[in-house]
Chains A and B, each alone.
Chain A
């Protein structure tokens, strides 16, 4: 039986992930098309998971009735399927897959701005040379389009490419854009619960967790939003991204809000970087206004809105823009929901006068089952005002919104989060401005830093 190398290469698979019968697999092993690798390894008296590199206390005992022994399994990467020490990984060792060499893969006909073009050229060069590059591009710079040129070159060389991003929302948003741009390439989206699971495409869009599925798979690895949770904070994801690369592989890191570590690397010139301070429509980033509200915390605790917010809603320059209201916690979002339906309704009706009043105002948070649908409804202008936690701080794009943060000095709103949230406004060329306001009861350091960072970007953009 002929086995397709594309289906199996670049992964370490558990037996249950291989849809072959016992006999076929046995034969494949005899022909050395697969080799077996232990799932856990011992190093200096400690055990490690061969998929995610975790050690104690992430490895725990199971009384396993498959092998009738008590042995370790890995809890750290269990969401990708449990790895137990009585199993093995199967690694493809047959012929290398022949990824298609595309003569003219890209159908995108848009034009890049001068600054996008400079970044696109640098990305292209880096991919050709299998180098490393940090792309620092402001929110709304149009970074996806900047990648197309380099991806085109890579596909012409028959390379395999992966773009990994922290959130499934973003993967879902990117898939149609890449499918349109590269119509003859097998583009696949992988995230928890994605319809596609095989991961045998030439161009993979995935959440960073899904990188755990791969082993020495890619010639080009693009990691989006390197400063975002969970990639920024979870060492497992760094292990996963290192393992997913072939020994020679280009690495492109994207961020709108680099953290201290990247800033240091840029300053020390240890990581090549390219900077895009201008949005693709050329307008400056909206600079957040701040409003001190005495008694804000108390009122939020009681589940009621501050006058300041209502006043701001009333006086917006463009009363038909949709509104995103960010709140620090789910609890608060839920508590304010009833009051929102009542107090915010007149504003919501001004935004979308033709819609049913009952569905104009909605709350979303991370564990919300209807999140995807609500975000889509907001995008379709079926919802006027969304109360949200930081879950919508980045990645998702709405064409024309104003943004308010209630209790902007709260810990969850660090500098990066505030810059990202402000970056939701003024995204479309048709409405390239938008209002951003921080409501607070005492400024935080992060607020000041975020405002300064945005002003700094705008200054640098003007100088170009």
Chain B
């Protein structure tokens, strides 16, 4: 018997074909939670994967008319962002419930290689602010990037800034925002 990391209920993992495909996920979530994750099924818009038809969507057409023309090569998504997922992500990110992210690992990696197998790509994660980092201790985007196990690059790095911020704190770890900006200024 396990405790579901999504809802905290005890459950027995049931033998099923899906265990061969998503071994990590099956061992973390109960059936109810697992079924509340809705995979995007349609190929959708070839550019952004929006689930409306299979041709370039109106959003993307708009973008192409703007100064952002040609910037986006492709956006891919794994799940639809419904209330259950919104809540799940909020608990992962804002509450800092680190383990919740592990659920995405296998499928996120699979999706990545399905679309970006070519070695010309490098993985860059969107950084979070120094304050956030000292509150949470992890960056959810960095976690996702690590799940790909691909080559990663910190081109948008704010890492130095928060390293410095942490060092400026001689006492303990996290800090409230006010004294934190003070610490950064002092550094």
Q: Which 3 A-B pairs have the closest CB atoms?
A: A62-B98, A21-B179, A64-B137
Chain A to chain B contacts (Cβ below 8 Å), 12 pairs? A15-B171, A16-B135, A16-B175, A16-B176, A19-B178, A26-B170, A57-B3, A62-B137, A66-B133, A66-B134, A66-B173, A75-B5
Q: A60-B98, A60-B99 are in contact. Are A65 and B175 (CB under 8 A)?
A: no
Within 8 A of B (CB), among A379-436: none
Decide if A63 is an interface residue (CB 8 Å cutoff): yes
User: Which residues of chain A have C-beta atoms less than 8 A from B3's C-beta?
Assistant: 57
Whether B99 contacts A14 by the Cβ 8 Å rule is no
Smallest CB separation, A62 vs chain B (Å)? 4
| Cβ contacts B112-148/A at 8 Å (1 or 0 each) | 0000000000000000000001110111000000000
User: Which residues of chain A have C-beta atoms less than 8 A from B170's C-beta?
Assistant: 22, 26
In the docked arrangement, what's the CA distance between A67 and B172, Å?
A: 10
| CB nearest neighbor in B for A19 | B176
Most central of B97, B168, B182 by chain A CB within 10 Å: B97
Whether B97 contacts A18 by the Cβ 8 Å rule is no
Chain A residues close to B by CB (< 8 Å):
14-22, 25-26, 29, 36, 57, 60-67, 73, 75, 78-79, 82, 84, 86-88
User: Which residues of chain B have C-beta atoms less than 8 A from A67's C-beta?
Assistant: 137, 173
In the docked arrangement, what's the CA distance between A458 and B76, Å?
A: 65
User: Which residues of chain B have C-beta atoms less than 8 A from A82's C-beta?
Assistant: 95-97
Q: A22-B183, A78-B95 are in contact. Are A65 and B137 (CB under 8 A)?
A: yes
Decide if B166 is an interface residue (CB 8 Å cutoff): yes
In the docked arrangement, what's the CA distance between A79 and B138, Å?
A: 17
Q: How many inter-chain residue pairs (CB < 8 Å) link A and B?
A: 78
Whether A88 contacts B172 by the Cβ 8 Å rule is yes
| CB nearest neighbor in B for A20 | B179
User: Which residues of chain A have C-beta atoms less than 8 A from B175's C-beta?
Assistant: 15-16, 22
User: Which residues of chain A have C-beta atoms less than 8 A from B139's C-beta?
Assistant: 65
In the docked arrangement, what's the CA distance between A113 and B3, Å?
A: 50
Decide if B57 is an interface residue (CB 8 Å cutoff): no
Smallest CB separation, A229 vs chain B (Å)? 14
User: Which residues of chain A have C-beta atoms less than 8 A from B168's C-beta?
Assistant: 22
In the docked arrangement, what's the CA distance between A60 and B99, Å?
A: 7
User: Which residues of chain B have C-beta atoms less than 8 A from A14's C-beta?
Assistant: 174
User: Which residues of chain B have C-beta atoms less than 8 A from A60's C-beta?
Assistant: 98-99
User: Which residues of chain B have C-beta atoms less than 8 A from A19's C-beta?
Assistant: 176, 178-179
In the docked arrangement, what's the CA distance between A386 and B179, Å?
A: 48
User: Which residues of chain B have C-beta atoms less than 8 A from A86's C-beta?
Assistant: 173
| Cβ contacts B149-187/A at 8 Å (1 or 0 each) | 000000000000000001011111111101100110000
In the docked arrangement, what's the CA distance between A21 and B134, Å?
A: 15
User: Which residues of chain A have C-beta atoms less than 8 A from B173's C-beta?
Assistant: 15, 66-67, 84, 86-87
User: Which residues of chain B have C-beta atoms less than 8 A from A62's C-beta?
Assistant: 96, 98-99, 137-138
Whether A16 contacts B95 by the Cβ 8 Å rule is no
Tell which of B95, B99, B169, B172 touches A79, judged by Cβ atoms closer than 8 Å.
B95
User: Which residues of chain B have C-beta atoms less than 8 A from A64's C-beta?
Assistant: 137-138
User: Which residues of chain A have C-beta atoms less than 8 A from B99's C-beta?
Assistant: 60-62, 75
User: Which residues of chain B have C-beta atoms less than 8 A from A18's C-beta?
Assistant: 176
Q: A22-B171, A75-B97, A75-B99 are in contact. Are A84 and B176 (CB under 8 A)?
A: no
| CB nearest neighbor in B for A16 | B174
In the docked arrangement, what's the CA distance between A424 and B150, Å?
A: 60
| CB nearest neighbor in B for A86 | B173
Whether B95 contacts A84 by the Cβ 8 Å rule is no
Smallest CB separation, A20 vs chain B (Å)? 7
Q: A21-B179, A66-B134 are in contact. Are A29 and B98 (CB under 8 A)?
A: no
Whether A63 contacts B138 by the Cβ 8 Å rule is yes
In the docked arrangement, what's the CA distance between A21 and B168, Å?
A: 12
User: Which residues of chain B have C-beta atoms less than 8 A from A26's C-beta?
Assistant: 170-171
In the docked arrangement, what's the CA distance between A16 and B179, Å?
A: 10
In the docked arrangement, what's the CA distance between A201 and B97, Å?
A: 31
A sample of 7 more A-B contacts (CB under 8 A), given A15-B175, A25-B171, A62-B96, is A15-B172, A16-B175, A19-B178, A26-B170, A26-B171, A63-B138, A79-B95
Whether B171 contacts A66 by the Cβ 8 Å rule is no
Smallest CB separation, B96 vs chain A (Å)? 5
Whether B171 contacts A29 by the Cβ 8 Å rule is yes
Smallest CB separation, A192 vs chain B (Å)? 12
In the docked arrangement, what's the CA distance between A63 and B138, Å?
A: 7
In the docked arrangement, what's the CA distance between A60 and B169, Å?
A: 26
Smallest CB separation, A71 vs chain B (Å)? 10
User: Which residues of chain B have C-beta atoms less than 8 A from A22's C-beta?
Assistant: 168-171, 175, 179, 182-183
Smallest CB separation, B55 vs chain A (Å)? 35
| CB nearest neighbor in A for B172 | A15
Smallest CB separation, B60 vs chain A (Å)? 32
Smallest CB separation, A115 vs chain B (Å)? 42
Q: A63-B138, A66-B137 are in contact. Are A21 and B182 (CB under 8 A)?
A: yes
User: Which residues of chain B have C-beta atoms less than 8 A from A87's C-beta?
Assistant: 172-174
Smallest CB separation, A285 vs chain B (Å)? 35
| CB nearest neighbor in B for A56 | B3
In the docked arrangement, what's the CA distance between A15 and B172, Å?
A: 7
User: Which residues of chain B have C-beta atoms less than 8 A from A25's C-beta?
Assistant: 171
| CB nearest neighbor in A for B174 | A16
In the docked arrangement, what's the CA distance between A86 and B137, Å?
A: 10
Whether B96 contacts A66 by the Cβ 8 Å rule is no
User: Which residues of chain B have C-beta atoms less than 8 A from A20's C-beta?
Assistant: 179
